[in-house]
Homo-oligomer: A and B are copies of this chain.
Amino acid sequence: MRARSKNARIEDVAAKANVSIMTVSRALRGVDGVSEKKRAEILKIARTLKYVPNSNARSLAVANSNLVGISLPTFAGEVFAEILNGMRQTFEKAGYSSVIDTTEYSRDAELNWVRRLLSWQPAAIILTGVDHHPETIALLKASPIPVLEIWDHTNDPIDLCVGIDHFEAGKTIGQHALECGYKSPAFVSTPKGHDIRADARLEGIRAVYQNLGGGPIPVARPPLQSAFTTGYHGALELIDTAQPDLICFLNDHMAFGGLMACERRGVSIPDDLGVIGFNALDLASVLPKKLTTIRTPRRLMGVTGARNLLARINGVKVDPPAALPMEFIPGETTSPR
């Protein structure tokens, strides 16, 4: 015979309270059908017995769970942590817990995670971005579980989507650069294909500049390190070779590294060189020179995504995806030429 766990079961509580298992179940879940007197008594007994419900049994019985599975590219760099916080707080209030994994930007890792997630019968699954392994898409489309794609935007989501249009963001950056009169912008990013949202932003900048006959936009893609050092080395590389009059960075972290590189090289901002970041992090707010950047609605995105998902879980119709607005922040690291 199998050794059952030592923990108190609902049966033990029922026995001690002289009621049936179902009454205990109802009392503990707070559903109707139990007199207040009995309920109070049952709750007390459960406490003294240190009774902890078994979620596995519950999930098995009801064929779902209150787990929400989340896939993030990385925990590094606050951005996803902020989106995550918005989501988690919203889910938490609704009684859902989050199971999180990071893919480090690998579609295969994401697929594995989704497979594993599926085995938990989660209430919903959240993926970052819209670029997935074909099998991930197939799996999720075949499943009845609500899916949210966040951070990026697409008109053809797996299910729900709440994000921003990174190509548009790039165009906004490009517009500003053009209006300032920058002639030779450059870009610092991570290795090719690592972050397709960053690539989309770069494309946005290119779209603005391509008809101006200024030649291709130089792009530095230093080997992956921390964002600060990547930005630092990328900027050094561009300053020493391409000599652009503007450097756009994948994000504010890198832009900060870039600013440090400029200080190192004695390059004066914004006189000798313009600098543009992305995200509008708190980091930027303490810098002596306000960074020109784009504020991304990270918290809002998380909250909105979670709300939509909760509505979807509860069977409410959800509006088709619309890209969230961003705010361009003109700072002191760019200026008219």
Contacts and interface: CB of A to CB of B under 8 A. Distances in A.
Contacts of A97: 99, 101, 116
Contacts of A260: 286-288
Contact of A81 (B50, B81, B98, B119): B81
Nearest to A3: B63
Given A75-B75, A75-B85, A228 B63 contact: no
A111 to B, nearest CB: 13
Interface string A63-99: 1010100000001111001001100100000000111
Nearest to A65: B56
Given A285-B229, A286-B228, A286-B256, A119 B63 contact: no
Nearest to A258: B286
A120 B56 contact: yes
Most buried by B among A101, A115, A288: A101
A232 B229 CA distance: 23
A226 B231 CA distance: 22
Nearest to A62: B2
A100 interface: yes
A55 B119 contact: yes
Given A6-B144, A85-B75, A115-B52, A264 B285 contact: no
Interface in A26-81: 50, 52-57, 59-60, 63, 65, 67, 75-78, 81
Task: Determine the interface band of chain A, counting residues with CB < 8 A from chain B.
Answer: 35 or more
B75 A76 contact: no
A192 interface: no
Contacts of A59: 56
Given A56-B65, A63-B5, A120-B56, A257 B228 contact: no
Contacts of A50: 139, 142
B282 A263 contact: no
A55 B116 CA distance: 9
A57 B59 CA distance: 8
Identify the 9 closest CB pairs spanning chains A and B, nearest first: A226-B282, A75-B81, A56-B59, A55-B119, A260-B286, A56-B60, A52-B118, A232-B286, A5-B63
Given A57-B60, A88-B101, A228-B283, 5 more contacts: A5-B121, A56-B120, A76-B81, A81-B81, A261-B286
Interface of A: 3-7, 50, 52-57, 59-60, 63, 65, 67, 75-78, 81, 84-85, 88, 97-102, 115-116, 118-121, 139, 142-144, 225-229, 231-232, 256-257, 260-261, 263-264, 282-283, 285-288
12 contacts: A52-B118, A54-B119, A55-B119, A55-B120, A55-B121, A56-B59, A56-B65, A76-B81, A98-B101, A225-B282, A229-B286, A264-B288
